[in-house]
């Protein structure tokens, strides 16, 4: 097979399915034996974690970037304590290995310890930065399936929460990290998603700083997947790539020039993502304006070029990502988006009472 000559067909084939088919064919032909890792053999079914209740113990871990100032650790500890929870601070929050919060092995081990610890009812990641993708191969997904619980974060944590959902079927949460602002709006959406768990509607706060725009009109349903655009793009073609078919993709970004966003969206398009999803929601694209506007498309022009008049609904300006007031989006939960009224409505439970 000449991949270069058949790229449009090749990129639409899911990598895992392709490998499995190739392995079966090669084995039957006696030509090749593919060793599929044990973790690849897990067949995920949806698993809903238990809801948080007052008094529960929340583990705080840093699976990605270094926590340079322990003020942030003290801050989130007080916030969660004031909300009625107990807190266990992982050692990773105090480790510094260049830009990482400890070695890959130590960060992965701490995360797995928190999954295995039955006294911990939820895991909150401290910050993004970079590092989650480096530990994905080191996680024991069978243990995660055996010990399902809430795990939440955003930005670089995108790879972790999407990979866990893809490998285990466990509902995970794209929401605030320990570093984040935890104002009333954010707390309300954490409560809706992690404590109540009943279907709810996400609407931007009044006076929101975001410009809401309909790029393509309509409503659509699908399971929520997504997060940071750079991280989502980096997952294409890996063993942890999300399943796009009939799902709702949500994306956010920070500190990227419009041409870089254009390049990433082009990659998703060429890979076939936009031929498979049912809808797209664009969140905060913080500090993504061009340094030289006279030499660049604006961010809105880039979005218009990619999403105007596509065959699925798209709206821009939803309150999630690198912004103070943020939704908590349950990854893997069925939802409906309305691109004309700028809403995301979950249709199933995100946690079990």
Query: Annotated active-site positions, please?
Result: 155, 252, 322
**From the CB of residue 223, how many other CB atoms can be counted at a distance below 10 Å?**
22
- In the chain, the DSSP E strands lie at 57-61, 86-89, 120-125, 150-153, 172-174, 201-202, 213-216, 219-228, 248-254, 279-286, 314-316, 329-331, 334-338, 343-346
Q: Determine contact, residues 256/230, Cβ cutoff 8 Å.
A: yes
Instruction: Reduce the DSSP state of residue 163 to 3 states and report it.
Output: helix
Quote the CA–CA distance of 60 and 90 in Å, as a whole number: 6
Quote the CA–CA distance of 314 and 318 in Å, as a whole number: 11
Q: Determine contact, residues 115/85, Cβ cutoff 8 Å.
A: no
Quote the CA–CA distance of 162 and 165 in Å, as a whole number: 5
The sheet with strand 86-89 has its strands ordered as 86-89, 57-61, 120-125, 150-153, 172-174, 329-331
Instruction: Reduce the DSSP state of residue 343 to 3 states and report it.
Output: strand
The full length of the chain comes to 353
């Amino acid at each position: 097979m000449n991949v270069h000559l058949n790229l449009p067909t090749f990129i639409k084939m899911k990598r895992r399915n392709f490998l499995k088919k190739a392995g079966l064919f090669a084995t039957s032909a006696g030509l090749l034996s593919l060793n599929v890792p044990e973790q690849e053999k897990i067949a995920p079914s949806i698993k809903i974690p238990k809801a948080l209740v007052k008094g529960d113990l929340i583990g705080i871990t840093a699976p990605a970037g270094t926590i340079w100032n322990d003020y942030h650790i003290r801050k989130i500890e007080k916030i969660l304590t004031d909300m009625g929870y107990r807190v266990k601070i992982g050692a990773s929050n105090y480790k510094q290995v260049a830009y990482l919060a400890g070695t890959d092995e130590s960060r992965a081990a701490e995360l797995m310890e928190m999954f295995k610890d039955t006294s911990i009812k939820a895991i909150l990641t401290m910050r993004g930065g970079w590092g989650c993708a480096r530990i994905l191969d080191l996680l024991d997904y069978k243990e995660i399936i055996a010990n399902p619980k809430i795990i939440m974060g955003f930005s670089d944590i995108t790879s972790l929460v999407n990979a866990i959902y893809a490998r285990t079927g466990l509902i995970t949460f794209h929401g605030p990290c320990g570093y984040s602002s935890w104002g009333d709006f954010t707390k309300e959406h954490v409560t809706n998603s992690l404590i109540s768990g009943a279907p709810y509607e996400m609407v931007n706060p009044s006076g929101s700083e975001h410009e809401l725009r309909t790029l393509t009109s309509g409503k659509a349903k699908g399971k929520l997947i997504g997060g940071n655009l750079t991280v989502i793009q980096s997952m294409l073609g890996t063993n942890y790539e999300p399943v796009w078919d009939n799902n709702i993709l949500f994306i956010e970004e920070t500190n990227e020039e419009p041409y870089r966003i254009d390049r990433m969206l082009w990659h998703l398009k060429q890979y076939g993502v936009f031929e498979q999803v049912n809808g797209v929601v664009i969140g905060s694209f913080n500090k993504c304006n061009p340094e030289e506007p006279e030499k660049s498309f604006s961010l809105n022009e880039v979005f218009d070029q990619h999403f105007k008049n596509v065959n699925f609904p798209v709206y821009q300006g939803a309150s999630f990502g690198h912004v103070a007031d943020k939704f908590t989006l349950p990854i893997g939960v069925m939802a409906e988006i309305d691109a004309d009224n700028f809403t995301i409505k979950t249709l199933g439970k995100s946690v079990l009472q």
